[in-house]
Amino acid sequence: MSGKNDKFLFDSSLLYNLDFSQCVCAFNPAVTPERPGDGLVMRPLQIHDYDKGYLDLLSQLTVVGEITRSRFQDQFGAMKKAANHFVVVIEDVTVGKIISSATLLIEHKFIHRASQRGRVEDVVVHEGHRGKQLAKLMLESLRLLSIELGCYKLTLECDEKMRPFYEKFGFKLGSTLFLQLRFFE
């Protein structure tokens, strides 16, 4: 059965039904997923975002590499099928470009009564749109979404310079070390 949400990575009602009265940060002026700002639309990633500069936006965060339309569509399909990737974007509809993105990745666990852990990944706002509360809106939305999805905790990795920003949302430095083993850039 197909419906209007088929083009999205996940059901958009999950995003629009979040209870923003539970925010830990204040927004001035007020913004929500339904009203992120003039000319802006916040929504789940969709397959057509390849043509709206999504990969160019991600390149402001890290190395993306060459990704063909076909590879993008295959990856989108795999993420949609896995049903544990919640990529949220903000589109500037006046120019048809994606200007912000953040990902909530859900790990299913046996620990904590077979609960779930949420991981925030790939938070980025286009350099021309920073200072408009967009990262704050994205992070608060992912925090609320992780609660809605039943996560027992939410984690993220960040540069030390970003730590004060994330601490505003209640994130604290944990007692464990983060180690990595890279296989390629």
pLDDT 10s digit of each residue in the chain, 185 long? 344 557 899 999 999 999 999 999 889 999 999 999 999 999 999 999 999 999 999 999 999 999 999 999 999 999 999 999 999 999 999 999 999 999 999 999 999 999 999 999 999 999 999 999 999 999 999 999 999 999 999 999 988 899 998 998 889 888 777 777 788 77
Chain center to CA of 162: 16
Question: What's the rounded Cα separation, in Å, for the pair 117 and 107?
Answer: 5
Please check whether the domain covering 4-167 is classified as CATH 3.30.2350.10: no
Q: For residues 17 and 9, what is the distance between their CA atoms, to the nearest angstrom?
A: 16
> What's the distance, CA 89 to chain centroid?
7
pTM for the whole thing?
0.91
- For residue range 105-137, list pLDDT tens digits in order: 999 999 999 999 999 999 999 999 999 999 999
Domain spans, the chain: 4-167
Using CA of residue 170, residue 115, residue 13, residue 158, what is the dihedral sign? positive
